[in-house]
Amino acid sequence: MTPKTKVMMLALVSVTLTSIAHTLVAFSLLDSRWPPGEIVIEMQLGSASGLIDGSGSWDDCGIDALDQWNRNLEGTGVSFTAVLDSTRTPASGDLVNSVTFSDDIFGTPFGEQVLSVTLASSFVMPGIDTTAETDVLFNSASRFNCYRGIRRVGPTPESSNTTDLRRVALHEFGHVLGLDHPDEDTPPQTVTAIMTAVIGDIDSLQPDDIQGAARLYGLSAPSRCFPPDSPVLSFFLCLENAYRDLLLRERTNQGFVDAEGSARWFPEWLRYVEHGCSGTEATTRVLLQIGGQGIQPVCRVVAPGAMSSPPLSEALDFLNLLDAYYRDTLRRDVSLSYIDLEGKAVWLQEYLRYRANGCNDTDALDRVLQQVRGDGVAPVCVA
């Protein structure tokens, strides 16, 4: 299988990133990630003397950046391991993760003011692709040192535009993990992060960077919290009874998704939607989960707060596609329900809205049944 390759570049632009206003966590992800285990990095930056921070070599300076990432990757299932003194010639497509100085990008010139590039190759997989190789190339024509604090820019040749290799390495190793430039999204995000596309005064990982890696590799980040499957299923069964006993509905709604499937997968679809995915993207991620591809990354991490209801048409599209998947792919038998698809979409979402805003299971159930009876919309438990 031939991997696909992406190239990410870091530019030297005179900005001070610490002046950017911090907003909600809003990192940007590439479309590939490593499988669990060690990410072996062959450090081939070589020796150096007189580095400002006391590092013994360029490799030591770069390894310090790897160590900073490792301190923040605990629990993700991945970590960096550095290999020194490699005599292998760096090459694209050799399935070796090389870090080196270079005069060009494997034969292609560096662009103007480009400090470094990361070339990432990945195997195309269902859902999110699997990273196969990354090569980090530092532009040997750039003036590097290793230091902390603000960028060293001054009138003398010794201090003018001397770039800290360590912070550049932090940025590039973020690309190695699968992070992209948040300020190059459409629309661009305004965040404080080492992963922005220009170099500045930030010299360490920021919360946005760390949350991005955590989300990419499956850790939870501050976001909206949905309840586990069991109480959702209990709610759904109570809703069935309410449709039967309060609304006097007949058990005539045919479908292939049983109660357990409705309680499991509609909340998962809504979780993706509530974290920045379109209805179509959310549906794709849910079907990948059902197909055994594991929990997929969300599209954006958001702060806790009021849920924004997706259009009912999108929810109904998902439920219809889910029903077709259960019928055609899972080969499930038809089942009957008192609740129609619109009822599933509306009331599951209302239950989850109450739960996400401070209501326990009983309070959320009572508030939904109040609406089902036509007694109005009760407030959430925590504004």
This model's pTM is above 0.75: no
DSSP secondary structure letters along 5-36: EEEEEEE-----GGGSPP-S----B-SEEPPS
H/E stretch holding 235 reads: helix 229-245
Q: What is the pLDDT of residue 31?
A: 78
Q: What is the pLDDT of residue 45?
A: 96
* Cross-strand bridge partners of residue 117: 9, 137
Q: What is the pLDDT of residue 187?
A: 65
* Cross-strand bridge partners of residue 254: 336
| Contact (Cβ atoms closer than 8 angstroms) between residue 3 and residue 123 | yes
Q: What is the pLDDT of residue 289?
A: 87
Nearest CA among 383, 348, 381, 382 for reference residue 227: 348
Per-residue pLDDT of the chain (383 residues; tens, 9 = 90+): 445 555 565 554 322 222 222 222 346 767 789 998 999 999 999 999 999 999 999 999 999 999 999 988 887 889 999 999 888 999 999 999 999 999 999 999 998 888 999 999 988 877 778 899 999 999 999 999 999 998 887 555 454 568 999 999 999 999 999 998 887 765 666 778 899 888 888 999 888 888 888 878 875 444 555 677 788 999 999 999 999 999 999 999 999 999 999 999 999 999 888 887 889 989 998 998 898 877 777 776 665 556 667 899 999 999 999 999 999 999 999 999 999 999 999 999 999 989 888 888 999 999 999 999 999 999 988 75
Q: CA-to-CA distance for 284 and 281, rounded, in angstroms?
A: 5
Q: What is the pLDDT of residue 348?
A: 95
What domains sit in the chain, N to C, each tagged with a CATH number? 4-216 (3.40.390.10), 229-372 (no CATH)
Q: CA-to-CA distance for 216 and 31, rounded, in angstroms?
A: 10
